[in-house]
Amino acid sequence: MTTVDVSPAAADADELSVWPASTTPLPCGDLEVGGVPLAQVADRFGTPVYLLDEAEVRERCRLYAHAFPHADIRYTAKAFLCRAMARWVAEEGLGLNVCSASELEVAVAAGVPPDRIVLHGNAKSPHDLEAALRLGVGRITIDSLPEITRLAAAVGPHDEPVKVLVRVVPGISTGLHEKTSTGTGVQKFGLSMTDGSAHHAIARVLAQPELELTGLHCHLGSQITSVRPYLTAVHRLTGLMARLHQSYGFTTRELDLGGGHGIAYRPGEPALDITALARTVRAEVCQGCAAAGLPVPRLIVEPGRAVAGPAGVALCRVLTVKHTGARTFVAVDGGMSDSPRPALHGVRYAPRLVGRLSLAEPTRVTVVGRHCEAGDILASDVPLPGDIRPGDLLAVPAAGAYHLSVASAYSPVGRPPVVAVADGYARQVVRHETFDGLARQDVG
């Protein structure tokens, strides 16, 4: 007869499954991450505040390096970027892909070699392209036909050809939120394989002596938890590689499969199995190339959320508790300005009371932000102790990606600081955006 462990320790371990691996419960009801109690971080740096576990970031970089030993791993900076983060991932052997000149400058300032950086973006500005050429990025991803002309014109007569990838859209629906699905044909990214745009763009690039086409790029979307869409993409991309070789004699040296690797935000949710992805994708590429008589290209993958997301924790304090009819609203000092993803993409988080031990039975509540927006809801119908009260500290796991990078100065409350923890020490790596700093931008 199989027994099930229903002890408090087992239940707590399940609840902590979406937290950094270093997370340890403390007897006082607090949690320790990276050897630092969360309540200590909140008291020292104020709330709202983001916490980032350096060891978790590094371990996730190593997971990718181990799973894809013969591929180039490029961290997607738009998930979260500061100089400390760029330095950590570079020290673990990863490159970066950036979407603006500003992200590029941060990466270079952190010491990331420019030749390990790729510039992405569906509408790169002249400033973006100028910075990429000036600093010598390793690759630029072509996203539209006009971009081919603009980039070729920006290359000096005595410069080496610029290495580029062409972003193609394979026409694959992943069943994701409509705002995070980018593999279908009708959206703003890339060049469609189904209407011939991708083939035409590649021919244009091959005709430009200022550009050197190294391969193909595709990105199916975000928060994908199944390997199957990637295998379908590989099948279609190797078919395109065969047609390009037949038409132009072009051999694809690099195949960039993007990122979008899904993580669990709440206990019990699925996450993409990176080891299975690496094994099956590699086999599918080898099989497709063998059938077409082509050499196997070097793979590139671009994790962002899967590196930063599980390493982050957002902390906020309860301001009010309001009972309205059958619902209880718990309002915190954060909101959609620092936790925008519930409003943008419908993400559901699992906040937890930390800093004190409560023996009260849990009750279902809605955690809301401080902004005058009906949609400023951080977590709906989640269990929190029935004695939740103003001054309590709430912690939200899996909050390392698309928080600060998408945060705003709404109201204007200023963006929270970022605190890195490691080996029992906490240090601020991004300062709090103060009103004085915001006021200096208002010239009156």
pLDDT digits (tens, 9 = 90+) for 357-389: 999 999 999 999 999 898 899 999 999 999 999
Per-residue pLDDT at 10? 46
Count the domains in the chain. 2
CA–CA dist 78, 90 (Å, integer): 15
Per-residue pLDDT at 375? 87
**Which residue ranges in the chain fall short of pLDDT 50?**
1-8, 10, 177-183
Residue 1 lies in a domain: no
The reply to whether 109 and 238 lie within a common domain is yes
134: left (phi over 0), alpha (psi -120 to 50) or beta: alpha
The reply to whether 336 and 358 lie within a common domain is yes
Q: Check if the beta carbon of residue 366 is closer than 8 Å to that of residue 392.
A: no
Residue 317 lies in a domain: yes
Q: Which is catalytic among the residues 61, 82, 316, 372?
A: 372
Per-residue pLDDT at 429? 97
Domain extent at residue 373: 8-52+310-439
CA–CA dist 169, 222 (Å, integer): 14
Per-residue pLDDT at 183? 42
The reply to whether 82 and 161 lie within a common domain is yes
Two structure tokens written together for 337: 């300005």
Helix (H, G, I), strand (E, B) or coil at 428: strand
Per-residue pLDDT at 325? 84
Amino acid identity at 323 = H
Is 82 catalytic? The answer is no
Helices and strands in the chain, H and E counts: 13, 21
Two structure tokens written together for 140: 């630029």
Radius of gyration from C-alpha coordinates of the chain: 23
The reply to whether 81 and 202 lie within a common domain is yes
